Amino acid sequence: MTTMTDTSNAARFREFKMPDVGEGLTEAEILKWYVQPGDTVTDGQVVCEVETAKAAVELPIPFDGVVHALRFPEGTTVDVGQVIIAVDVAPGSDSAAAEPEAPAPAPEAEAPKGRQPVLVGYGVAESSTKRRARKGAETAPPAAAPAAVQAELNGQGTAAVPEARPLAKPPVRKLAKDLGIDLATVTPTGVGGVITREDVHAAATPEAPPVPEPSVAPVVAEAEVPVQQGARETRIPVKGVRKAIAQAMVGSAFTAPHVTEFVTVDVTRTMKLVAELKEDKDMAGVRVNPLLVIAKALLVAIKRNPGVNAVWDEANQEIVQKHYVNLGIAAATPRGLIVPNIKDAQDQTLPQLAASLGELVATARDGRTSPAAMAGGTVTITNVGVFGVDTGTPILNPGESAILAVGAIKLQPWVHKGKVKPRQVTTLALSFDHRLIDGELGSKFLADIAAILEQPKRLITWA
């Protein structure tokens, strides 16, 4: 039989599992622990910094207590769903014995008839790692106990209290705590009764100050691998963003049949427009550069050629036409290439687009780009011209069907009004998925972008 001490022990120690902080990510590396065994933690407190394939993120813990054990050291890559920290939620209790080295495997239960909706990062399949049962362990507890204890360990409920705890991700709990909102009073709208950020904001008073997105830890450059004197080779571990880039590029290159077209265009008038916009009072406080006008030109060209803003759905054998543009901007960071995107860029005015571009670049430079900011892109611009490169053949960002590469803008001899004159010229390269974008559509789209950059007034006449 199961003793009262065993049941109390399970209720006393709660374990926090590695959540899925992105979209479908399977693992993350623990970069830094902010707490140690014996430290007191509170609901919403950041306990560690982890790096996924998309970003470095700080994880808040969803309950109060005293840290009992850290399951993995810094630098360890942990699968989503594995326990990373154990917390004593009743440190003054005398009824519980020492916490076991690791959670005992749960008794086999009847397999569910269908896939159960769960909170992202919680309730996932248990780790395949086998752990030895604690010596002196009794027989399995009553049938009702495993579900209650598992809910407790997952942060979804309290084993000792039959009343269910509101379902919410740790960042949402932190948001509610910052706004002073009791999650028990919030009406959930998420799948499976999960409380979302929007639910918390809706429950807040109108005067409540806006709360920033969950904090994302500053990103540092990958540590350099020491090179031994006289060594002829150096091996660098492939992980994090670099690993994700490699997998994404290989998957894209060998899934979507790429076609790349090029056009060289006189952008002298565009450069004059950029200079004028810098002096415009309506553009005060935002950064104005050629990329801004190029981005606006691309958005106008998509409006004229909407078939470009689509994606191939292999599973359903459908072409999914997007009626919004999440404009991706490829950015080089110390961690590697990332592609954050501007949501609903088609609805933004030129000053708004300039502000969005400025914020995107600054966030990427500081290493604060969140996984959500890199999800859901529909088309991308990569500015290889900043490196002095004339052009390139860019690979599609997975889930997109077109990417525009912008080359360096250089002063070159150009025939203008029947005479050879020095003009500012650049080369554009457009790669697209030939399964859904044929040569005619791709060519028209690229030609429209070039035409706008040659005659920027088309931003008005074609809009």
Mean pLDDT of 440-461: 97
Q: How many CB atoms are located within 10 Å of the residue 433 CB?
A: 23
Mean pLDDT of 226-253: 73
Model confidence pLDDT, tens digit, residues 314-338: 888 899 999 999 999 998 877 778 8
Model confidence pLDDT, tens digit, residues 9-31: 556 889 999 987 765 678 888 88
Model confidence pLDDT, tens digit, residues 254-280: 678 899 999 999 999 999 999 999 999
Mean pLDDT of 154-176: 57
Where does the pLDDT of residue 136 fall: very low under 50, low under 70, confident under 90, or very high at 90 and above? very low
User: What confidence score (pLDDT) does residue 147 get?
Assistant: 43
Of 68, 201, 416, 434, which residue is the catalytic one? 434
- Residue 440 pLDDT exceeds 70: yes
434 is catalytic: yes
pTM over 0.85: no
- Residue 200 pLDDT exceeds 90: no
Model confidence pLDDT, tens digit, residues 360-380: 988 888 878 888 888 899 999
Amino acid at 378: T
Model confidence pLDDT, tens digit, residues 56-95: 788 999 989 999 999 999 988 888 899 999 999 888 765 4
Of 147-151, 383-387, 433-437, 453-457, the poorest mean pLDDT is in 147-151
- Residue 240 pLDDT exceeds 70: no
Mean pLDDT of 241-264: 79
Mean per-residue pLDDT of the chain: 78
Between residues 276 and 208, which one has the greater pLDDT? 276
Closest CA to 195 of 210, 212, 176, 223: 176
Between residues 120 and 440, which one has the greater pLDDT? 440
Model confidence pLDDT, tens digit, residues 26-53: 888 888 999 999 999 998 899 998 887 6
User: What confidence score (pLDDT) does residue 173 get?
Assistant: 74
User: What confidence score (pLDDT) does residue 439 get?
Assistant: 94
Mean pLDDT of 426-444: 95
User: What confidence score (pLDDT) does residue 359 get?
Assistant: 92
From CA 32, how far away is CA 393, in angstroms rounded? 38
